[in-house]
Every structure is written in structure tokens, then in C-alpha cells.
Amino acid sequence: MKSIVPIALAGLFLSFSCQNQHQFSIEILDDEALDLIDPQSEIEVVGSGFKWTEGPLWIDSGNYLLFSDIPNNTVFKLDESGKITEYLKPSGFTGEEFEGEEPGSNGLLLSPEGDLILMQHGDRQVGRMKSSLDTPLAEYEAVVDEYQGKRFNSPNDGVFDHQGNLYFTDPPYGLPRRMEDPEKELDFQGVFCLKASGELILVDQLTRPNGIALSPDESILYVAVSDPEQARWYRYDVEAPGKVSGKKIFYDTTALIGKEGEQGLPDGMKMHSSGTLFATGPGGVWIFSASGKAIARIRTGQATANCAFTTDEKTLFMAADDYLLKVALK
């Protein structure tokens, strides 16, 4: 299998082909998945040599992908030619020194106005890049950085609804000592909704809230929990912005944690226009029907953090440990 591996040279990533030794596979669990993915599709390595990739975001206006490397405090750009270059640095921590392992940005998304929104670990805020996408500068302003006068832990991932309300998660992973960090101000890990009006609502408290997504009609909210003891996805009925009910376990993978070939935990996810959920979890990317049935698995062999579609949904990008991968969809 051919793959692309980047070589760092004077701040630029150049690509060349090499033989890939990774054991990738696509496992079909239900024929429903055949409408979305061919089990023979090649899983390609389009970038490597990072520390921990996260937050892939497709920018349709420029036909490129942005993604975070959290330990390197950097956002990288993959252009249509396959070249990877530095896009923003610093991306999540703008101070002088950081003692922990995850200072950078995590989830990336576009606001309804087209601004780049970053879940910033080190600065402990949901931030907005002040400059335009075409002229990126590492200058940010806080969209929101506290709840009831207490600083967030480290915002992780988010999703906007069509009204401009932002749902996001706040686990402790960006804190140098995580749950035991002396600077931790909130005594819980929350799922929040920042309404377009500016009101901030606590939606729920979970042990390790992580990835988050909405159904196509925005009637269902999905949240991943990256807790080895509760490695599952939850679903909620959305009654109004920030108001949910009917909390249920959507899918539980706790029994797989620690088993060979099942690296990783429930993490980032993206909703397909069909209502099918693509969710990173043990072993790679899980593909779920709207009813909560696992219909396929994209096995990456890596702890896989997040994924993103191109606008036409013909390509799925996957942030997997120190790699950036992609696979063709139908």
C-alpha cells in the first residue's frame, strides 16, 4: 500500500511516496454500511511525524484541511496538492511556558460567520482567531472562558447548530495535572451550550466528556465519554437550545478497553448527512446507524482522536495518534 510521509524542511512539510507497513482494514458489520463505504477502499497515510493529531476541519472555500497537533501547540494545513505546512503557532497556549503535555488547540470549527473557532487547551477557552482564514495570525479573542466565574478546564470539542448556538465539552486533558491540577477551578467536567444570545448553559456533567455532534435535524445531541471505566457514547433529545432530556447510552465499548487491537477511547465524531455517525473509538473509527447499531469499523491500528468529511462527503480524514489518514467514501 502506498502512503505519503512528510519530511520537515525549513518549516515546510514535503511529501514523498513510500511503502506502508500499517495494517489498516475496513470491517463491514451490516450491509447498510455498503451505501457509505467500500470495504476495499484504501486507507492512506497523508501525513506523519506529529505528536498527537486532533480536530480536523475541512475548509471548503479553500479546498484544504486544517488539523491540530496538540503537544506541538500548532495547527497544520493540508492543501489540495497534499503538502502540509504550519498554519498557526501557537494554537492553544499563548503564554510563556506550559508545564503539561497538551497546550495546543483541540477541536476546530467554523462559526456561522466563517471565523475559525478553536478549543484552546492551554488558554482554557473557546477562542476565535482574529484574522481571516486566508491570512492566519496567531492572535485570538475569547468567545467564552468561564462558567459562573470559574475558568474552564480545557475546552475540547464543539459543534454549532443552524441558529449559531455552540455546544462544547470541557474535560481536564489540557490541565498539566488533569484532575489533580491545583489550578482546576470547576469541580466537574461539563457539556455546555453557549447560546447565540450569549447565555451559557450547563447541559450535563460527565466524567470525561469529549467529542460532540448533532443529528442532521438537530433533534439529538451525541457526546462521547473518553473514560476507560465508562467508554461510551450518550445521546440526548434536544428540546430547545441548551435544554435536553431523555439521556441514554447510545453505545458502550467499555468491555473492549485494554484489549489487543482496540487502542483508544470514544473521542471525536462527525455526523454524516444521512444521519450515520462516524465516531472515533477503540481500534479506529466506528460507523453507527441512527438507531445506535454499529454497521462498520475503520480499523486504523492507532488510538484515533477525531475525523472530518470533505464537503461532498467523498473523503473522510482521520487524526490517528501521530498520523493523518484518509479514506474514500461513496
**List of domains in the chain:** 47-261 (2.120.10.30)
Query: What's the rounded mean pLDDT across residues 67-94?
Result: 98
pLDDT of residue 10: 29
Between CA 63 and CA 318, with CA 106 as vertex, the angle to 5 degrees is 55
Of the candidates 142, 145, 60, 56, the residue with the CA atom closest to the CA atom of residue 106: 56
pLDDT value at 5 more than 80:
no
Is the pTM of the predicted complex or chain greater than 0.85?
A: yes
Give buried/exposed letters for 91-125 (b at 16+ CB in 10 A, else e).
Answer: bbbbeeebebebbbbbbbbbeeeebbbbbbbbbbb
pLDDT tens for 148-188 read 999 999 999 999 999 999 999 999 999 999 999 999 999 99
pLDDT tens for 6-42 read 333 223 333 322 334 468 999 999 999 999 999 999 9
Question: From CA 305, how far away is CA 319, in angstroms rounded?
Answer: 6
Give percent of the chain with pLDDT exceeding 90.
Answer: 93
